[in-house]
Amino acid sequence: MLSMIKNLFGPGTDYKALLSSGAVIVDVRTPGEFRSGHIKGSVNIPVDSIRQHVNELKKKGKPVITCCASGMRSSSAASILKGAGIEAHNGGSWMSLQQKI
């Protein structure tokens, strides 16, 4: 059953491998949420200002992993970044992403 589900949705993202290749974790929650807890080394760019940081992220030339509280805002941010030509992956909630890395 699990293999059937994997076939439908494809392989999961290997976040550890992305980080090993230099990926940047962008936490798209508000600064207050970020201050209350975040993944060590992550950068806080709230989703409502992600478009203003596209060039800055492009210059890094690295994949981006987005995260937030539940995965909704990080999904939006990843879509915006992908649309701008950046390799972006939605890491979902920061707490679950932390467990995957």
| Cβ-contact 68, 74 below 8 angstroms | yes
The answer, yes or no, to whether residue 59 has pLDDT greater than 80, is: yes
Helix (H) or strand (E) holding 27: strand 24-27
Q: What is the band of 51 on the pLDDT scale with cuts at 50, 70, 90?
A: very high
Predicted TM-score (pTM) of the model is: 0.87
Q: What is the pLDDT of residue 13?
A: 84
Residues 52-58 have a mean pLDDT of 95
Q: Where are the alpha helices (DSSP H) in the chain?
A: 2-9, 15-20, 31-35, 54-60, 72-83, 94-100
Distance spanning both ends of the chain, measured CA to CA = 26
Which architecture characterizes domain 21-34+41-100 according to CATH?
Answer: 3-Layer(aba) Sandwich (3.40)
Q: Side chain identity at 51, as an amino acid letter?
A: R
- Predicted confidence at residue 53, as pLDDT, reads 96
